[in-house]
Amino acid sequence: MSDTPRAPLPPAAGALTALLRRLHFYIGLFVGPFILVAALSGVLYALTPQIENQLYARALHTDSRGPALSLAEQVDIARQYVGPDLGVAAVRPAPAAGDTTRVMFSAPALGDSAHRAVFIDPASGAVRGDLPVYGTSGVLPLRTWIDYFHRELLLGDIGRLYSELAASWLWVAALGGVVLWAARRRRGRARGLRAVHSSLGLGLLLGLLFFSATGLTWSQYAGGNIGVLRAHYGWSTPSVATALAPGQGMSMPMGEHAEHHMGAAPTAAVALDSTLFDRVLAKARSANIEAAKLEIRPASRSDKAWVVAEIDRSWPSQVDAIAIDPSNLAVVDQVEFAQYSLPAKLTRWGIDAHMGVLFGLANQLVLVALASGLLVMVALGYLMWWRRRPTLAKQPTLLDAWRQLSRVAQAGVLLVALALGLALPVLGWSLLALLVWDVLLSRRANGRSASVSGLGAQGPGPL
């Protein structure tokens, strides 16, 4: 820190701008590294679909052509391959000729939301691959690793704080930068690195706000608050009801591939009749489940229905789902994307666009461009800080600028900070940490100023 006294405090009219300028500086300095990591890993994630398509080509595709085996036969091949200890969690039939069928097994050792997937050639019945897959999108190992790194730095729940911190502050930095650009524009055009930084920020503004908003929906704490808000207003994504009425689903027809009879109790685990995959799929097709990409999830209990869900996240979204009673193939419940509320549709589209799957290659290229631009902005911010660091120590702190506001404005800033802290807890706690740092910095600077003034009044001491 320099011993040179800080610049005079701005007049009350410019105090809010000074406060935003200091906050923008703090965000760049302290949150910038987290934004940098999120942007860089986001670029890698956006590029993985084509890489995975080549890396796992044997598992995903086949040169075999001809009539496809029944789903029952394909499932039984996969079950024989993995042995009797793992249960079938879901099946994804081959979406097109030359693609494989994915039979996914519950595998607790792989962790939550992960399955062991066996890839079956639907024409020959050959096992083409055996890989762990993750989440409802069924991403493969490479993208799973990048996804975990992007969300939590491979550190588990504690690591999720990094991505939530980046998403919580990104929109504040973006909108604050617009205000600072407008205030600076009235004094004259920016030049050099600042001009490039500002121009990039304006050009990427909508994309940065999109990254922040969609990232927060996935976050641990702010995402939970968003989920509560959506549920309160009926904006949640609807799901099919799978509970069967009492007396239904007590016995399922056993085919030649059934291992044993299921128990009669409504809550008992059921034996899997592989022939039901073909029959349930045929019923779903007759009920307007039309997407080529879909997933069939068998019931784990005799009082639950099977679910057939469309999983095509590209435009136009095909995410309809239907619940079917396996005992009589009656439709228990059905949800269509057209029935979603507008906020639920926007959430679906936002998540899929954030993952780069909504508009295919064009979507990926836009994500790469936005994230790359964000990387350049952060780098320019650090370069500007490095060049200007002697003068930045002289600028008014947050506390200095806040004290120059009117009483009404001071109260308004506190109320906004409190509301944001409650809605976005990670932002709130990190803001508190910034304020503590700012107070310490202010006291240190004031102490040095007093020391310098005292020396000037007393003259130098004896040598």
pLDDT tens column, 156-195: 999 999 999 999 999 999 999 999 999 888 877 778 889 9
Q: Is the pLDDT of residue 358 over 70?
A: yes
Residues of the chain with pLDDT > 70, as a percent, come to 86
pLDDT in tens, 317-347: 999 999 999 999 999 999 999 999 999 999 9
Pair of tokens at residue 216: 């927060």
Distances (CA, A) of 414 to 15, 190, 268, 418: 15, 31, 56, 6
Q: Among 128-142, 354-368, 392-406, 418-432, name the one with the lowest average pLDDT.
A: 392-406
Please give the pLDDT value at position 334: 96
Q: Is the pLDDT of residue 263 over 50?
A: no
Please give the pLDDT value at position 441: 80
Q: Among 42-51, 113-122, 247-256, name the one with the lowest average pLDDT.
A: 247-256
Range 111-134 average pLDDT: 94
Distance CA 127, CA 32 (A): 47
Mean per-residue pLDDT of the chain? 87
Please give the pLDDT value at position 116: 96
Pair of tokens at residue 239: 């799901």
More confident residue, 134 or 388: 134
What is the CB neighbour count within 10 angstroms for residue 266? 16
Closest CA to 277 of 67, 85, 62, 94: 94
Distance CA 177, CA 125 (A): 58
Confidence bin at 265 (pLDDT 50/70/90): very low
* Model confidence, pTM: 0.84
